Chain A
């Protein structure tokens, strides 16, 4: 197990390096001259050359890429914002918590609602509840967050005045963004859990459990649950990645000072250090989450654990066989 976890963590290093290279290359290839943007109109060639040298933009692609990677890896230095001259990492660290806490709360809400709904829909297949949950899930998965968010904002913020319109000053301000984020996830998880549970409860070992006369609740929650969870964990992991990616839209609508709004500002001002920094940090968080998901996966599914311990055990069993012979 430890070997599996270490292997998984080590693999994240080349992936993140690759992400660094790709993101840097994309912004490098972007047309437009950052020096010109910073200096505005009316600069002398000397001034231009000085600024370009200061930002390291006068060097070639490889040299720029090399120093970028070096700064990020050794000092977490993503450069300074072209516009404000504030180091990108300072902003990133203060904003990361906000984005992550919303994503985390959304995932918790998603799991707490989505999984039970899916299980109920599966064990009461073709009942009114099943149809209710399934159609709710189908409809919700067709509503993008940028559609539902403004509508909820008008209803609960403007008309009813129950919830604040923007910012994150009190606990109430978390309700709408978390709900908007969770909605699609709930839809996804309900459907996934339902399908997975339906597949599981048709298997022979469930029939055996029933034949033994176990209570239905024990069968579902103890026997079927573990196998049901395997695909559900995968989907939850990929949903978290989507949430981190989609944070921009939700944060923009609710004016939340998170990674998304920071990235948005970077895009509108063509502030490349900001774009690079936020995308790379998000990819880093997604990578970490996928490691956690993979470890959870191995905890829930002994077959995966066995795959990684099999090397040693196989050798042992071969040795034992030889000794016996």
Chain B
């Protein structure tokens, strides 16, 4: 990529020097920086985030300004991605729509992780009957395919960005709880946990001070991979008319609305598809790189 090998080594070394306190983090970071594909993912996500957060800087048009004479304009200097069937600027709809897509996905991740972490940590840490009951309930929830669960919940909750986030979050809880439970199970057997308990640390203290900080790494990986999956789910829900609805722009709903014009005016479908695809691609390869960085066994 744009760095020479030497520069990269230096950057990695700097990172190591920066966080000498926590050598494992530094180790992971340096491995991450060396991963070309992972860095590409990070750059894609960074660019997308900047475009989306500072949307007003990058576009002069409001996302909902309709202009009948300007319908179906092909991409040009004035409208970088063209205009849609209402003459709305597609570029600004992409940017503002990305806000919704990414925000909903993020909120969903936060909710499902918060619940999943709590449930998973309780199951993994206490084990025994509590674990049994929780695992059985998770089994039941996982028997319903995630997208169907999201569909069922959002048909009950109704449409709108935050309701969609909640629907997606609920469908994601069993999966994040499972990740958390298995992570806690592997940590629980470590000697430092035994030491903490031997010195009279309460259960709550052991969980918060000793167990949770060590589960962060695998959780970050699964959350990164889930953001991509969530964006796909949100767009899917919007696509079937259950997620975010017009006039609020969202990549999936823009795509869905543009489907009938695909034959005569492809940009209306191609660009939202491209944005969804790029975001998924970015988060997928970043997630993979994070996993590789955290699990050096998989690397040569």
Contacts and interface: CB of A to CB of B under 8 A. Distances in A.
Nearest to A135: B37
B155 A242 contact: no
Given A15-B143, A16-B143, A241-B145, A139 B156 contact: no
A248 B145 CA distance: 12
A10 interface: no
Interface in A131-151: 138-139, 141-144, 146-147, 150-151
B145 A147 contact: no
Contacts of A30: 155-156
Contact of B298 (A29, A195, A242, A248): A195
A276 to B, nearest CB: 9
Given A26-B156, A158-B263, A144 B236 contact: yes
A308 interface: no
Interface stretch (A167-175, A223-231, A279-287): A279-287
Given A27-B152, A144-B276, A249-B236, A19 B144 contact: yes
B237 to A, nearest CB: 10
Interface string B142-183: 011111100111011010000000000000000000000000
A244 interface: yes
A151 B269 contact: yes
A151 B262 contact: yes
A16 B1 CA distance: 51
Contacts of A154: 262-263, 266
Contact of B144 (A14, A22, A248, A267): A22
Nearest to B231: A144
A244 B144 CA distance: 10
Contact of B147 (A29, A142, A245): A245
Given A26-B153, A144-B276, A147-B276, A282 B145 contact: yes
A16 B136 CA distance: 11
Contacts of A242: 145-147
Contact of B140 (A18, A138, A195, A268): A18
B239 A249 contact: yes
A36 B231 CA distance: 35
Contacts of B273: 143, 147, 151
B38 to A, nearest CB: 12
Q: Which of A22, A150, A199 has the most CB of B within 10 A?
A: A150
Contacts of B266: 154
B277 A142 contact: yes
Given A16-B143, A147-B255, A195-B298, A142 B280 contact: yes
A92 B82 CA distance: 44
A222 B255 CA distance: 47
Contact of A263 (B136, B151, B158, B276): B151
Nearest to B154: A267
A146 B239 contact: yes
Interface size for chain A: under 10, 10 to 19, 20 to 34, or 35 or more residues?
A: 35 or more
B18 interface: no
A274 B144 CA distance: 16
Interface in B116-160: 136-137, 139-141, 143-148, 151-153, 155-156, 158
Nearest to A12: B143
A146 B146 contact: no
Contact of A138 (B235, B259, B284, B298): B284
A158 B136 CA distance: 49
B21 to A, nearest CB: 33
Contacts of A22: 140-141, 144
Nearest to B148: A245
A287 B155 CA distance: 23
B242 interface: yes
Interface in A73-119: none
B140 A15 contact: yes
A286 B240 contact: no
A138 B281 contact: yes
Contacts of A142: 228, 277-278, 280-281, 284
B288 to A, nearest CB: 8
B232 interface: yes
Contact of A248 (B139, B140, B151, B228): B151
Contact of A246 (B143, B147, B259, B278): B147
Contacts of B140: 14-15, 18-19, 22
A203 B210 CA distance: 34
Nearest to A198: B298
Given A142-B281, A246-B145, 11 more contacts: A18-B140, A22-B141, A29-B156, A30-B156, A144-B276, A146-B252, A151-B273, A245-B148, A246-B147, A275-B152, A283-B144
16 contacts: A18-B136, A19-B143, A139-B277, A142-B228, A142-B280, A144-B232, A144-B235, A144-B280, A150-B259, A151-B273, A245-B147, A263-B148, A267-B151, A267-B155, A267-B242, A275-B152
The 5 closest A-B pairs by CB, nearest first: A245-B145, A18-B140, A142-B281, A142-B280, A30-B156
